Amino acid sequence: MKAALFEAAHRLRVAQRSLRSLLPDEVLLRIQACGVCGTDIHIVEGSSRSTPPVVLGHEFVGVVEDIGSSVKNVTPGDVVAIDPNISCGACFYCRRGLVHLCEHLKAYGVDLDGGMAEQCIVKASQLYHLPAELPWEVGTFIEPVSCCVHGIDRASIRLGDTVVLLGAGTIGLILLQLARSAGAARVIVVEPREHKRIKAQELGASRVLDPTTDRISEAVKDVTGVGADVVFECAGTLETAQQSLRLVRRGGTVVFFGVCPRGRTIDVEPNFVFSNELAIVGSYINPHTFARAINLLHQGKIRLDKFFVERFPLDAVHEALASLRVGNTVKTVIVPNE
C-alpha cells in the first residue's frame, strides 16, 4: 500500500509500505481522508518530536476492513475516526487522569504509522464511531476540534467575557465558535490575512484586526477598557506569544495554544505576572475530549461551511503541505483512495 513516509528532516516521500499482520487488539482501516496540519509541517522540518521512518497523518477517518481476534467495539464496514494519541495507562500521569501528559505518550502520524496512507493499522481502543449523518470530510475536523475543546476547558471562559484570538487559521476559527458557545460576549480576532479575517467575521467575530496596520493593544483597550478576559495565542509565533501578555486584563488568562518553535523564548517579567495576577496556561492535545468534539460537530455547533477545504491525492502530499504553508487554504485534506 502507498503511504506518505517521513524519513528524516526535510525528507518526505510517497512510498510503498507492506502491511504486517494484526495483533489481537488492532484494526485494519482503509483511509477515507486525512487532514494536514501545522504539526505535519513541523515534523517534516525536523522541529517536532517524531521517530522516523514513520507515515505522517494524525487527523484521519476510515472504514474498518479487518479486526484482530480480541476486538469487540468495531466490526468490518464501520466508519470510524481515530484519536491519534495513545497513553500507557500505567504511569503517574495516566493514573491521575492526565493522559495527555503520559510519560510514554505515542501518536499515530508522529511516532507510529498514521493516516496519510491507503491503509493503516490502529489500536481498536483509539476508535470512535462516526455518526452516520456526519460526512467523512467533517471527520477530519474531529481531532483539531478535540484539541480546541481542551483549550476552551483550560481557558475557563465565563458568560459575558471578552476573548481575543491571535491567529485565524483552522484552529482560530474553531476556537472562535467554541468561545462563543462557551458564553463569550465578544470575540476579537487578530489575523494578518484578509480572507481569514473575512471568515472570522462571517463566523461571529465581533471585531477583526489586522496586526500589520492596526494598533492591537489600543484597539483591545478601546473595546474593553481594561484588556481581554482571555487571550488565546493560536498563531504559534514568538511575536504573538509576547503580544498576548500585553492584551490580557489584570487577573485574566493567557492560553498558549499555538506551537511556537522549540527552544525559543519570550520576555516575561515575573513582577508583572505577580502584580497583575495573570494566569498563563498551556493547552496540549486532547485529553478525554474526542467524544465531546464528535458531539459538537454532529449537533452542528461548529459551522464548517465557511471553511475552504482543499483536497489532494496522496501523490500530491508535497503540494498539500506547501499549500498549507502559504496559508491560502483553511483546511487541507489528503484523500488517499479516490
Summarize as ranges the residues that interact with Zn ion (CB under 5 A). 37, 39, 87-88, 91, 94, 102
Catalytic residue among 10, 42, 224, 298: 42
Residue 195 known to be catalytic = no
Q: CB 95 → Zn ion: shortest distance, Å?
A: 8
Q: CB 170 → Zn ion: shortest distance, Å?
A: 9
CB closer to Zn ion out of 39 and 329: 39
Residue 42 known to be catalytic = yes
CB closer to Zn ion out of 177 and 253: 177
Q: CB 267 → Zn ion: shortest distance, Å?
A: 29
CB closer to Zn ion out of 56 and 157: 56
- Strands 11-16, 2-8: pairing is antiparallel
Q: CB 274 → Zn ion: shortest distance, Å?
A: 33
CB closer to Zn ion out of 15 and 98: 98
CB closer to Zn ion out of 115 and 252: 115
Q: CB 105 → Zn ion: shortest distance, Å?
A: 7
Catalytic residue among 10, 39, 129, 265: 39
Catalytic residue IDs: 39, 42
